[in-house]
């Protein structure tokens, strides 16, 4: 690992900052959200868990009835400062089938209830626990698996300085299909094309992650979930 460059607060792209070498990554704390954003994380996650607790338990029962295996899916993800944490999701895929790190369109591993959960993003409800714990924040970069993170282009590795988000500017304003087309793509295409495009969009938000900018991403997320138009950025 060569080091991580942090976006400049005065511009939209990465700028020379304090690179962190591989030997000191385990001691590096990364860049946490400010106090206001952390308070927002706690308030929203607590409220969401209180409101969605019973419906989430019902979904977990449906998952168990639909396919064999636990209702909760746990997976290591790369967090703030490249520290690995355990991400929680409602399981949407069969456990007896292997496959690539990214999920393709019409992926045969996805269960019947899993298709609905993915379409509505309800599979991500347990991540509110990650937000409450401080593993994640409401708005931030995509939390990648370690296998994908180590393969990131060097120019895009700066995103791992930041706390990953439940949603993010790139996740709602730039879909993978905007870059790859409807046919989807391979892991190599994801790393070569999608990751740089997402990094450019994320940099615009992370250069100045104010509360108004955070609320703007949250509004775009709600619009996306409701099937309304969201402005796309490359």
Mean of the pLDDT values across residues 47-51? Answer: 96
Long-range contacts from 220-228, C-beta under 8 angstroms, 24+ separation: 220/169, 220/172, 220/173, 221/167, 221/171, 221/172, 223/172, 224/172, 225/120, 225/121
- The reply to whether 15 falls in a domain is no
Helix axes 35-66, 211-225, angle to 10 degrees: 20
- Residue 1 domain-assigned (yes or no): no
Confidence of residue 135 (pLDDT cuts 50, 70, 90): very high
**Distance between CA atoms of 30 and 13, rounded to whole angstroms?**
18
d(CA 184, CA 173): 17
Q: What is the pLDDT of residues 67-86, one digit of tens each?
A: 899 999 999 999 999 999 99
Residue 3 included in any domain: no
User: What pLDDT does residue 231 have?
Assistant: 73
Report residue 202's pLDDT band, with 50, 70 and 90 as the boundaries: very high
Q: What is the pLDDT of residues 84-97, one digit of tens each?
A: 999 999 999 988 76
For residue 124, CA distances in Å to 79, 99, 156, 179 come to 16, 21, 25, 24
Structure confidence at residue 173 as a pLDDT band (50, 70, 90): confident
- Quote the mean pLDDT of the chain: 83
Split at pLDDT 50, 70, 90, the class of 62 is very high
- 231: in domain: no
Task: Provide the pLDDT for residue 96.
Answer: 73
Structure tokens at 14: 């990465």
Domain span at 151: 27-225
Q: 141-163 pLDDT, tens per residue?
A: 999 999 999 999 999 999 999 99
Q: Given this model, what pLDDT does residue 228 score? A: 86
CA 127, CA 125: separation in Å to the nearest integer? Answer: 5
- How many domains is the chain partitioned into structurally? 1
> Does any domain span residue 2?
no
pLDDT of residue 206: 94
Global pTM reads 0.82
Q: What's the rounded Cα separation, in Å, for the pair 204 and 207?
A: 6
pLDDT score recorded for residue 184: 56
In a domain, 75, yes or no: yes
Domain membership flag for residue 46: yes
Selection from 163, 95, 172 nearest residue 130 by Cα: 163
Domain membership flag for residue 214: yes
| Residue 178, pLDDT above cutoff 90 | no
């Amino acid at each position: 690992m060569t080091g991580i460059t942090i976006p400049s607060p005065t511009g939209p792209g990465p700028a020379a900052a304090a690179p962190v070498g591989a030997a000191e990554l385990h001691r590096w704390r990364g860049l946490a959200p400010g106090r206001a954003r952390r308070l927002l994380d706690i308030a929203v996650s607590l409220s969401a868990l209180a409101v969605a607790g019973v419906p989430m338990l019902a979904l977990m029962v449906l998952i168990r009835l639909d396919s064999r295996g636990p209702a909760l899916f746990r997976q290591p993800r790369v967090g703030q400062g490249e520290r690995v944490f355990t991400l929680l999701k409602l399981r949407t895929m069969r456990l007896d089938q292997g496959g690539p790190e990214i999920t393709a369109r019409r992926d045969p591993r996805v269960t019947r209830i899993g298709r609905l959960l993915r379409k509505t993003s309800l599979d991500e409800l347990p991540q509110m626990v990650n937000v409450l714990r401080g593993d994640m924040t409401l708005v931030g970069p995509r939390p990648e698996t370690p296998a994908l993170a180590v393969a990131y282009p060097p120019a895009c590795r700066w995103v791992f300085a930041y706390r990953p988000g439940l949603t993010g500017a790139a996740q709602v304003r730039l879909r993978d299909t905007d870059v790859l087309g409807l046919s989807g793509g391979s892991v190599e295409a994801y790393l070569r094309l999608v990751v740089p495009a997402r990094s450019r969009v994320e940099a615009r938000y992370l250069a100045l992650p104010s509360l108004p900018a955070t609320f703007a991403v949250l509004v775009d997320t709600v619009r996306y979930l409701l099937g309304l138009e969201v402005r796309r950025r490359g």
